[in-house]
Amino acid sequence: MEVGARVWVPVSIAETRVSKRFDCIPSGTLHPNADEIDYLRRLVKYKDYAILVLNKPPKLPVKGSLPVHNSMDALAAAALSYDYDEGPKLVHRLDRESSGLLLMGRTKESINHLHWLFNDINPAKSSCKAWNDACDAKFQRYWALVIGTPKENEGLIRSPLSKILLHDGKTERVILAQNVGLEPSQEAVTEYRVLGPMINGCSWVELRPLTSRKHQLRVHCAEALGTPIVGDYKYGWFVHRKWKQMPRVDIEQRTGKPYKLRRPEGLDVQKGSVLSKVPLLHLHCRELVLPNIAKFLPLLSNNAETLSPGLSGKPDLLRFVASMPKHMKISWNLMSSYLV
């Protein structure tokens, strides 16, 4: 840096002073009733003294800011503290429109180690081999329904991402970096695997992000593979305009019997699925594998190299699988009826 150098600051940073005082609105102002607390606690798939794992529904924002108040961190702070003085904190993000497994830390120590775990910068190794091996085994797997099908059934996408501002000067968009050296970019790597044949112009794809970039999977599907995710109008609007949506199915292809999800005319229970005129985003964090923080935390806090006898019998890894939201289940069942 030199005196007089110009620094370009993203809008999200420039607006921090405005939105900062709204970041923690939730716990002090939200007072959920018993039904709301019961609903939120039914989203919890796992809880120990160190972490919470939830199955986030679609359209629920993860992080609250102006003008969003009913975010996941807000609701968790108000309803998921259990016997703790404070509610759990976010350690990674999911897009507002996506669904699936969301991890939260319950103590200051676990939050610090989980932030370290989800950091894309390769951190220093611990002196405990079991912890290092468990960290190396950590991964997330998403299921997505895409329009079209990738040219290869599986592969590795290495396409750096950049952020740009649209003409309104406020809206931020993520694009594939052009590698011309004029714009900052971040490395983004995604493994993908096609789960089955293309049906009615769509394919189910499994995605495993090896880096954690904003909108990484959505941009990689839309721009790197050329197969945008169903319901992603931000990055796949040009394909959605031409996409011929799946016709209403009343008869199962294999048996010839009435389709089991059939409902009386006029009742739109298929809202958001591939039958809907405006389908919801079909992107779901289905599987999460991570180190058993509750097992390793005493060891990491004391900088020890071996576990105590009482903890050595616990598993090194925790694995979670979350069911798909209703609109994706309907799409899955509809398309599976075509499979032989």
Q: Are residues 218 and 323 in the same domain?
A: yes
CATH of the domain at 203: 3.30.2350.10
The answer to whether residue 51 sits within a structural domain is: yes
Number of Cα atoms under 13 Å in the Cβ half of residue 96: 10
Burial of 80 (0-12, 13-18, 19+ CB in 10 A): buried
What whole-number distance in Å separates Cα of residue 337 and Cα of residue 340? 8
Asked if residue 3 belongs to a domain, the reply is no
Does residue 4 form part of some domain?
A: no
Task: Tell me the C-alpha distance between 178 and 184, whole Å.
Answer: 10
**Shared domain check, 141 and 66:** no
Residue at a domain's end among 119, 146, 161: 119
Same domain, 271 and 143: yes
Both 71 and 165 in a single domain? Answer: no
The DSSP bridge partners found for residue 89 are 105
Q: Is 133 a catalytic residue?
A: no
Tell me what pLDDT residue 15 has.
Answer: 40
In a domain, 148, yes or no: yes
Two tokens, residue 150: 């990738």
The dihedral sign for the CA sequence 263, 323, 144, 74: positive
Q: Tell which of 92, 119, 146 closes a domain.
A: 119
At 237 the pLDDT is 84
Q: Give pLDDT, residue 143.
A: 97
What is d(CA 204, CA 270) in angstroms, rounded to the nearest whole number? 19
Are the beta carbons of 235 and 160 closer than 8 angstroms? Answer: no
- β-pair partners for 287: 141, 321
> What was the pLDDT predicted at 262?
44
Domain boundary among 74, 94, 119: 119
pTM for the model stands at 0.81
pLDDT at 242: 76
* Residue 165: other Cβ atoms inside 10 A: 13
Burial class (CB in 10 A: 0-12, 13-18, 19+), 184: exposed
Beta bridge partners of 46: 53
Q: Which domain holds residue 174?
A: 136-339
Q: 31 and 170: one domain?
A: no
**Catalytic-role residue among 73, 83, 95, 316:** 95
Place of tokens 């005493």: 298
Separation between Cα atoms, residue 119 and residue 211, nearest integer Å: 9
Asked if 90 and 170 sit in the same domain, the reply is no
Are 146 and 81 contained in the same domain?
no
Token couple for 300: 């990491």
Residues 162 and 278 in one domain: yes
d(CA 315, CA 238): 47
Do 196 and 334 reside in the same domain of the chain?
A: yes
Q: Do 109 and 151 reside in the same domain of the chain?
A: no
Give, for all 340 residues of the chain, the pLDDT tens digit: 788 887 766 544 444 443 333 334 334 456 677 887 888 899 999 999 999 999 999 988 887 654 455 678 888 888 898 989 888 999 998 999 999 999 999 999 999 999 988 887 766 677 788 888 999 999 999 999 999 999 999 999 999 998 887 777 677 888 888 765 566 788 999 999 999 888 888 999 999 999 989 899 999 999 999 999 999 999 988 888 777 666 555 555 556 665 554 443 443 445 788 878 889 999 999 999 999 999 988 888 776 566 666 677 789 999 999 999 999 998 888 776 554 3
pLDDT at 12: 46
Phi, psi of 147 (to 5 degrees): -85, 120
Q: How many domains does the chain have?
A: 2
What's the gap between Cα 48 and its chain centre? 22
Tell me whether residue 146 is in a domain: yes
Nearest CA-CA partner of 293 in 163, 105, 121: 105
State whether 49 and 192 are in the same domain.
Answer: no
- Classify residue 103 as exposed, middle or buried by CB count within 10 Å of its CB (0-12, 13-18, 19+): buried
Residue 274 sits in the same domain as residue 175? yes
